Amino acid sequence: MTPTPDSVNELIAEGRIERVPVDPAIVQRMLRQATQNADGARREADAGNPAGGHALAWDAARVAITAHMLHNGLRPTSKPGHHAAVVTYAEACLGDIADLHDLESLDRVRRTRNRSEYDAIPVSRTMFDGDEPGVRRVVQAIVKQLVVPGDPGGSSTRAT
């Protein structure tokens, strides 16, 4: 395992993420789910529901990043702020595989989903179209790094 950035150590100390055993099979299932959610986000927006598409896009990113965390023996806890902790982890740990601009946009995507879900703030198609490509690229970068080609059972992952 690579050294843990200070910001991730802070999240562990705050109890927002925790150390867990690595489970390669779960990582692979999560990566498949993230990919399905990313694909579903576009379909949902195309069907006239940009808010639903945006929520699925955020979920795709969150699940893919959580898979990366699990691959490294970490996962978010259920404490308040755990979605923000996922973003902090991504910004700290994924810069070598994902575009910095895409990583920096994740918190906006998370906050937009929160406002849509909890405050009924509408999400326009323009907002979705602005956010979805970056989310998709982050998901694809994680999948590219962790999915083992030709592993139909999804039972192992590459070392990072």
Q: Residue 114 has what pLDDT?
A: 80
Number of domains in the chain: 1
- Find the distance separating the first CA and the last CA of the chain, reported in whole Å: 7
Rg of the chain over CA atoms, in angstroms? Answer: 15
Q: Residue 159 has what pLDDT?
A: 41
Q: 45 in a domain, yes or no?
A: yes
Q: Residue 59 has what pLDDT?
A: 94
Q: 129 in a domain, yes or no?
A: yes
**113-148: b (≥16 Cβ within 10 Å) or e:** beebeeeeeebeeebbeebbebbbbbbbbbbebbbb
Q: Residue 160 has what pLDDT?
A: 42
Reading the chain (160 residues) residue by residue, the pLDDT tens digits are 455 678 899 999 999 999 999 999 999 999 999 999 999 999 999 999 999 999 999 999 999 999 999 999 999 999 888 888 999 999 999 999 998 889 888 988 888 888 888 888 899 999 999 999 999 999 999 999 998 676 544 444 444 4
Collect all residues with Cβ–Cβ distance below 8 Å to 97 and sequence separation of at least 6: 141, 142, 144, 145
Q: 70 in a domain, yes or no?
A: yes
3-state secondary structure at position 74:
strand
Question: What's this model's pTM, rounded to 2 decimal places?
Answer: 0.88
Q: 117 in a domain, yes or no?
A: yes
Q: 156 in a domain, yes or no?
A: no
Q: 134 in a domain, yes or no?
A: yes
Q: 58 in a domain, yes or no?
A: yes
Give the range of the structural domain holding residue 98, as residue numbers without chain letter: 6-146
What single string gives the DSSP state of each residue in 11-51?
A: HHHHTSEEE----HHHHHHHHHHHHHHHHHHHHHHHTT-HH
3-state secondary structure at position 3:
coil
Q: 151 in a domain, yes or no?
A: no
Where residue 18 sits, what CATH number does that domain have? 1.20.120.330
Closest to 45 (Cα-Cα) out of 36, 56, 29: 56
